[in-house]
Each structure stands twice: as C-alpha cells, then as structure tokens.
Amino acid sequence: MSTKIFKLIAAIIAGIMLLTAMAGCGQNVQQQESTRTESSQAVATQASTETPKEIVTIKSIFPGDEPKGLSDVFTVLNEKLGKDIGVNLSLTWAPWDQYGNKIQMAIAAGEEIDWFWGGSSDLSVNVAKKIVAPLDDLMAKYGKSIYDNIKPELFDTMKIDGKLMGIPSTGNSPLVNVYHSFSYREDLRVKYNLPKLDNIQNMDLYFKTIKEKEPTLIPLCSASAAYVIMPAFGPEDYLGGTNGAVAVRVNEDNSVTLMRIQDAPAFKDSLAKAREWYNAGYIPKDILNIGDEQAKLNAGAAACKDGSALQSSEQQASIVANVPEAILNDQPVMGSGKKFIMGNGGNAVYLSPVSKHPDQVVQFWAWIFASQDNYDLYCYGIKDKNYKIDNDRLVYLNSDYSSFPAWMFKNLNYLRFNQYATDEYINTIKNWDSGAVISPLQGFVFNPEKVSTELAQVNNVFGAYSKALNAGMTDFAKVLPEFNSKMKAAGQDTILEEVQKQVDAFLKK
C-alpha cells in the first residue's frame, strides 16, 4: 500500500486493480485434518512417487522489502519443496509503488517470471494486457488441494469466456468489503474511553481525540480514505475491471444499477468526508509522499491507516517491537443496508504466459494448501526458530520473517491467530460476513476486449485525479466539470454501455 492496502486501493481506483484476509484457530485445524492429509497425499502422488531427477526453479516478483530472515527460511523451504515436488522457489522484490509496472515490463520483455500475485479484481485488466495464462488443464491435473481449501463458487469469479485465468488465493476468508476497512490502535481507543469505530461519527471522534491528546501521532495515515469509507455513504462501489469508469449498486430487491462513477452518491459523499478530514489535519499534508503507511503505523507514528480483514493481526508482532503497549484492531466499514458477497477475498495468484514451468507453478501453489506443515513453513518460517505455537496461537520469536507476505494465501483452514488477538477481535473476524447474501453479480467478470482503447484512456484520466481525491487533497465539487469533460472524451459512456450489455446478459443466465 504506500502500504499494502494503499497500493491495492490505488490500483483498484486507477484500474480497479490491486484490491486481504482471514484466520483459523487450532480447532479448525483439527476439524480439517483428514481433508488436508488426503490433499497432501494427492499432491505427492501427482508430483511423483520417486525423488525428482531435476530441481526446477520457479521465479516470481514480490512487492515490498525482502525479510531479513528469508534466506535461512528458504534454505529449509526449498529443501522440502525439492524433495516433495522437485521445485526451487526464487523471489526478487520491488517497491510497492513500482510493483505493478515491474510485473508488466518483465512479462513484456520475456524475462523469467513464472507467476505473480495481484488483486483479484485485476483479472479483466490482466487479461486485456495479456500478462496471464489459462489454468484449467493444470488445475485439473494438480489442483486438488487448492479446490479443497477455497470455496468452489469463487473460481467462477476468476474466469473469462469460461477459462480460469487466476486463483482466488484468499477465497476462504472474509469476502464482504474486504478493503473497506481500517487498521487502528485499539489501545488508544480504550485509553481515552472512546466508542467503537463502527460509524463515521465515532471515527470523527477518534481522529479528533488523537490529534488533541497524542499530538506526535498522525491520526489517519491513509491516501485511500475516501475509498475505505464509501459503504458508510451508500451501497455503490467501483465495478472491477472498468478502470474507475463505472459504479455498481445492488439494490435491496436484488436488482442491479450501473452508473458513471461520478454519479454515485457514495463516491461523492466519501470524497467530501475525506476532504473534511484532510482539512482538519487528520490526514497529513504530505500523505502522497509517505512511501510506506504501514511502516508509520508499526513505528508508532500513526494511530490508524487503511486496512483489510486480518491485517492488524498480521502486523501486531511488528508494532509491539516498537511500541510494546500497542494493540491493533481491524474495523470494517459496512454501511446500513444489505451486505452482499460479490468478491472473492481480494487477492489472486496468476500464471505468467512466458513461464517455462507452468506445471511446477501450480504444483507449488497446491503444495502450500496440501498440509498445515507446508503452510506454516511457507507463511511463518522455521518452527522454534522464527515462531512457536502456544495454546493454538502463533507466537513470533523474532521479526526475521514476520514481514513475509503470507497474506497472499490467507485461508481459514490454516491461518493462525497470533498471541495478541483478543476474543473480541477473533469474533469480529469470524463474523465479518455475518448476515451477508450472495450478490446477483457474484461470478460476473467484465470482458474488456471491445473497449480496450477506451479503458486505457479512462485509466489515464481517472489516475490523474484519484490519488489526490481519495486522500482528501482536492475538492471534488470544484474539479467535477473538468473531470466530467475529460472522462466523457476518454470514452466513459462507451464503457458504461458495454458493461450494461454484459451485465444484462449475465443476469439473464
């Protein structure tokens, strides 16, 4: 995003691109053990019953900074991968603000990149850019453990023209408004006896109190504030794959309304609130120059940032190393209407079309989901060196590997709550989707082929405004006439017309 979520949301808004996040406790692990054992055996059988003759290296680019303990962990990891499936995993790292371009440039240049992570709502854009490859045959051959651990209906959300083009890697996790969420200092809320941050008024009070009582802290370190709070102002949201051109509203009667993004009440009102927060000094004036918002929170320099389901649990070990009394919490922004499940967890993994080892890539993904031991090694490092398990809770022994982006494969069946997670926090996570119903658009994926030119033009226009608008730095009312004119000239209405046709056809099925 600047931090994880900012970069996701910036991508969501600029191209409805990178748009994390759930956990399981020891009881879930025990309940699922039989299925996992079968999956592990299946992966081993699919790979080979003999020691592989040749170890194949698969390569990927990851966002962020390499954990200092990665080399030690990967020595053990690759030894096990080599023995189990004949694979060696090699990673290079790119800054968050360069990650998307790095992936595209590497694939366009034919460099050795076998797979990559991205937002699941990036699917249409990735297909249009021809940076992903179909997975149907490979998944049929190697994907049993993946299918066993991700909700089956979510694979349809990663298909275009009937072809599976990505894996919803966090598909067994919270699904509603995953990135409409804040990660904040719960200890400060308790310290000042403030109400829960479950509505805009309480958020106002929290930020105001932090500014007055904790003057050295940034109340809200977020360049995506408006996006995060959109559900509080209405049911409209960005429609994935339209590069910010189209908003969608699922009505209480399950009918669907499409509109230009600038005509969506939730869009306009959330921008106005972000502007108010910026003017009040809650969002720093240099927010777009802050390279890593998560680092600010973890260092004890901020009280709140944009987040995702379970992000606070992931970052707890990092913040207590700097601020021992700090307790992070996740607060979803849900709004007052019906909760619709229209997404698939937000994260996805994709096969590169230039990969020379597609079989081994899918075997590797399946290996992660094949057993708790595999998952723990990849996600948490070496047991009793990087972490230990105490009363079914994850306890990091150091920070050497704790920053590894294990969130790419968050899964309710395997992911562990850490030692700092309170019962209230766990209850929030477990009930994140409580009362939600399946959206009539669940499984809809926009095919951008007929309007690829217009999408590229709209992406350029929207991208020129979106960051400053979402950070509250620009008054949308003042730039609206200019915004309307440029979006129209870029082909926004043509995109909306094509989306309407595809949605109508989808709903008739």
Q: Is residue 459 part of a domain?
A: no
DSSP element (H, E) containing 350: strand 347-351
pLDDT at res. 252: 86
pLDDT at res. 435: 86
Place of tokens 């299946």: 42
Q: Is residue 440 part of a domain?
A: no
Q: How far apart are the first and last CA of the chain?
A: 37
pLDDT at res. 51: 52
Q: Is the model's pLDDT at 186 over the cut of 80?
A: yes
Of 19-28, 247-256, 495-504, the poorest mean pLDDT is in: 19-28
Q: How many domains does the chain have?
A: 1
pLDDT at res. 123: 87
pLDDT at res. 3: 42
| pTM exceeding 0.85 | no
Q: Is residue 353 part of a domain?
A: yes
Domain span at residue 368? Answer: 38-175+346-427
pLDDT one-digit tens code per residue, 398-431:
889 988 999 899 888 998 988 888 888 888 888 8
pLDDT at res. 52: 52
Question: What percentage of the chain has pLDDT greater than the value 70?
Answer: 89
pLDDT one-digit tens code per residue, 458-476:
999 999 999 999 999 999 9
**Contact (Cβ atoms closer than 8 angstroms) between residue 490 and residue 458:** yes
pLDDT at res. 17: 35
Positive or negative CA dihedral for 288, 291, 293, 297? negative
Which string of DSSP letters, residue by residue, matches 3-33?
A: SHHHHHHHHHHHHS-------B-HHHHHHTH
**Contact (Cβ atoms closer than 8 angstroms) between residue 445 and residue 123:** yes
Q: Mean pLDDT in the chain? A: 88
pLDDT at res. 151: 85
Q: Is residue 129 part of a domain?
A: yes
pLDDT at res. 345: 66
Cβ neighbours of 353 (radius 10 Å)? 14
Q: Is the model's pLDDT at 2 over the cut of 70?
A: no
Q: Is residue 18 part of a domain?
A: no
Q: Is residue 269 part of a domain?
A: no
Q: Is the model's pLDDT at 9 over the cut of 60?
A: no
Residue 222's region, left for phi above 0, alpha for psi from -120 to 50, else beta, is beta
Separation CA 284–CA 273 (nearest Å): 15
**pLDDT higher at 244 or 431:** 244
pLDDT one-digit tens code per residue, 43-64:
444 444 445 568 999 999 999 9
Q: Is the model's pLDDT at 245 over the cut of 90?
A: yes
pLDDT one-digit tens code per residue, 133-178:
999 999 999 999 999 999 888 898 899 889 999 999 887 778 888 8
**Contact (Cβ atoms closer than 8 angstroms) between residue 388 and residue 317:** no
Of 63-77, 160-174, 464-478, 486-500, the poorest mean pLDDT is in: 160-174
Mean pLDDT along residues 495-505: 97
pLDDT one-digit tens code per residue, 313-351:
888 888 988 999 999 999 999 888 888 887 666 789 999
Q: Is residue 399 part of a domain?
A: yes
pLDDT one-digit tens code per residue, 13-45:
434 333 333 333 333 333 444 444 444 444 444
pLDDT at res. 138: 98
pLDDT one-digit tens code per residue, 281-305:
999 999 999 978 999 999 999 999 9
Of 147-156, 188-197, 223-232, 459-468, the poorest mean pLDDT is in: 147-156
pLDDT at res. 31: 40
Q: Is residue 283 part of a domain?
A: no
The CATH number assigned to the domain holding 376 equals 3.40.190.10
